[in-house]
């Protein structure tokens, strides 16, 4: 399995996604666009395309952020989807998937930073890739926006502050507004690169000491099982 990450900033690290891929011996490659690395030009060799988050939005221009090209990334995402690859978007990545499919991103009702519960919809509870999540699961959050919905998209999970936490676009394409990849190391990077004081009184924003003391292991384990199930679905398609 070849897994390719598009990483927008060093502090929006792949975290548990990368750990899972390495643990299973998969081939890893990267487009660290903040370092000037190019986007993948050969989708055929990739099995999983994982697009990470970032402080940008799908509307951010190259004039505003020289290393982020929203149009180019959306083109890569569309190619991967059309080629039948697994495409996972996290936060900004989820919004870019929606945009690539013609669904405009929107501002979330609340800014969420911390570890808060998501609730699975009836669709999510019954979905074989997500049924091990249970009805309610505490996961990481670090966002202002949320992905758009295509006509065929299904909401897998929502939270009190955001109605689109996990979106299923197809059986191989998913957007995660939430951050199930967070580890304490990744959280420390995010804290160092965000000014949480400006939203200190927001009920959906937790203080740095609270963020660093959370246990992220359970949600990581749930994510690993999701990825293992998804890998089996993907292999069943390409080998049949």
> What is the distance between the alpha carbons of residues 27 and 186, in angstroms, rounded to a whole number?
22
Asked whether residue 41 carries a pLDDT value surpassing 90, the answer given is yes
With CA atoms as reference, report the closest residue to 97 among 48, 164, 44, 148. Answer: 148
Greatest C-alpha distance within the chain:
53
Tokens of 48: 């999983």
Instruction: Report the pLDDT value the prediction gives residue 230, as an integer from 0 to 100.
Output: 98
Mean pLDDT of 82-94: 98
Asked whether residue 171 carries a pLDDT value surpassing 80, the answer given is yes
Per-residue pLDDT tens digits for 180-225 = 999 999 999 999 998 877 666 788 999 999 999 999 999 999 999 9
Q: What is the pTM of this model?
A: 0.97
With CA atoms as reference, report the closest residue to 168 among 189, 146, 183, 153. Answer: 153
> What is the distance between the alpha carbons of residues 190 and 184, in angstroms, rounded to a whole number?
10
User: Which residue matches tokens 């499919």?
Assistant: 101
Mean pLDDT of 87-102: 98
Q: How far is CA 64 from CA 46, 59, 68, 180, 212, in A?
A: 30, 10, 9, 28, 31
> What is the distance between the alpha carbons of residues 113 and 80, in angstroms, rounded to a whole number?
30
Q: Where in the chain does DSSP place strands (E)?
A: 2-7, 27-32, 48-51, 86-90, 106-120, 136-146, 154-158, 166-168, 173-176
CATH architecture, domain defined by 2-238: 3-Layer(aba) Sandwich (3.40)
Tokens of 73: 């990334």
Asked whether residue 239 carries a pLDDT value surpassing 80, the answer given is no
Contact 96/70 with Cβ under 8 angstroms?
Answer: yes
Mean pLDDT of 3-25: 98
Residue-range domain boundaries for the chain: 2-238
Report which DSSP code applies to 239. -
Mean pLDDT of 39-55: 97
Mean pLDDT of 80-87: 98
Instruction: Report the pLDDT value the prediction gives residue 198, as an integer from 0 to 100.
Output: 63
Per-residue pLDDT tens digits for 111-144 = 999 999 999 999 999 999 999 999 999 999 999 9
Asked whether residue 12 carries a pLDDT value surpassing 90, the answer given is yes
Strand 173-176 relative to strand 166-168, pairing? antiparallel
């Amino acid at each position: 399995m070849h897994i390719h990450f598009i990483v927008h900033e060093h502090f929006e690290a792949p975290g548990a996604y990368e750990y899972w891929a390495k643990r299973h011996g998969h081939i890893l490659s990267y487009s660290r666009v903040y370092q000037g690395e190019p986007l993948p030009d050969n989708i055929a060799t990739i099995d999983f395309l994982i697009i990470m988050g970032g402080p940008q939005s799908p509307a951010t221009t190259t004039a505003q952020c020289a290393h982020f090209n929203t149009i180019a990334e959306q083109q890569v995402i569309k190619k991967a989807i059309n080629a039948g690859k697994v495409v996972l978007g996290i936060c900004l990545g989820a919004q870019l998937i929606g945009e690539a499919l013609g669904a405009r991103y929107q501002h979330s009702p609340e800014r969420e930073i911390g570890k808060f519960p998501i609730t699975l919809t009836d669709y999510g509870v019954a979905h074989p890739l997500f049924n091990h999540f249970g009805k309610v699961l505490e996961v990481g959050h670090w966002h202002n926006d949320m992905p758009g919905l295509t006509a065929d998209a299904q909401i897998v999970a929502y939270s009190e502050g955001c109605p689109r936490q996990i979106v299923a676009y197809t059986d191989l394409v998913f957007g995660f507004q939430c951050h199930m990849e967070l580890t304490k190391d990744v959280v420390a990077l995010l804290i160092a690169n965000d000014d949480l004081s400006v939203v200190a009184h927001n009920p959906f924003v937790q203080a740095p000491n609270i963020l660093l003391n959370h246990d992220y292991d359970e949600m990581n384990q749930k994510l690993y099982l999701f990825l293992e199930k998804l890998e089996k679905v993907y292999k069943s398609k390409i080998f049949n």
